[in-house]
Amino acid sequence: MIKTVDLTKKYGDTFAIRAIDLDLDRGDLFGFIGPNGAGKTTTMRILSTLLAPTWGEAYVCDHSVHTQPKEIRRLVGYMPDFFGVYDDMTVVEYLEFFAAAYRIGGEARRRRVDEMLDIVDLDFKRDAYANTLSRGQTQRLGLARTLLHDPQVLLLDEPLSGLDPRARIEMRNLLRKLGQLGKTIIVSSHILPELADVCNKVGIIDRGELKVNATITEVLRQVREHTVLVVQPASPDELNRVRQLLEGHPLVQSMQIGNASVRVVLKSNVQDYTGLPKLLIDNGVALRGFGEESLDLESAFMALTKGTSDRM
């Protein structure tokens, strides 16, 4: 659905983006993460054909941004980080105006507007003036406008920016729903934990270069050399027993005993540790919990962009 090869945009001697390679399939929800000025908006503007690359290629649904921009515009919905609304238009009038711009006419237009209001849960505001909406409601209206022509690809630039916690949850649920409908979505955001919840793939861009392009699980593993396990026996009295059984094991590098669990650091590149819980259970240790210590996407971002974002 989206493929870029060596995609580059240069202003004078400055690279806005450099050699960006993306490959997204139908239904992918791609989280685009990076500090201000990293190149997220530039990439989206090129994919939406609003900006021409200096060199490199980008394809959207097998159409080239160089030679088939009109075809791409029919297939893409682009929602910028900030957009205006008309003061003298109601929500319905606003959507009907843009539906007409997409040449959706008559009964089909009214039906499509009603469908979009239902999807973004704004039907109760259909007769309100667009400039009276809250920030979250305005973002949902912008998303409804972006969806009017039923695009296959959505490019959403900072849709969670400036929203209160409830509005962020609502927008996150909307993104999940759109992903389930088979839309291919690129969404940029600084609210990193939110992306971990909704995206199946993530890219970390910094100073115009794509540092990471992988699944969420792969990204988290890249910033951790050692797998860390948290072992929680059913009784705190078994903590020392866990230590005795795992101490000196060929997979284990070190351990730390806490109040209710044992933190076990495995040796480098150990991926298969299925024998450890079996060892504990076979020796009579009842387990309340056993699994990898969580590492959130925000920690991964800070580790992978350390020392660069402050120079943007």
Give me the pLDDT at residue 174, please.
Answer: 87
Q: 106: domain CATH number?
A: 3.40.50.300
User: Which residue among 222, 256, 275 closes a domain?
Assistant: 222
Co-location of 138 and 202 in the same domain: yes
Co-location of 175 and 74 in the same domain: yes
Give me the pLDDT at residue 232, please.
Answer: 95
User: Is residue 278 one of the residues assigned to a domain?
Assistant: yes
Give the tens place of pLDDT for each residue, 37-73: 889 999 999 999 999 999 999 999 999 999 999 999 9
Which of the residues in the chain have pLDDT under 70? 190-194, 220-225, 295-312
Co-location of 112 and 97 in the same domain: yes
- State the total domains in the chain: 2
Domain with 139 in it? 2-222
Co-location of 207 and 238 in the same domain: no
Give me the pLDDT at residue 191, please.
Answer: 64
Give the tens place of pLDDT for each residue, 122-153: 999 999 999 999 988 999 999 999 999 999 99
Give alpha helix (H) positions in the chain.
Answer: 40-47, 69-75, 91-101, 106-119, 135-147, 165-180, 192-198, 216-222, 239-246, 275-282, 297-304
User: Is residue 297 one of the residues assigned to a domain?
Assistant: no
Give me the pLDDT at residue 308, please.
Answer: 45
Co-location of 233 and 213 in the same domain: no
Give me the pLDDT at residue 195, please.
Answer: 76
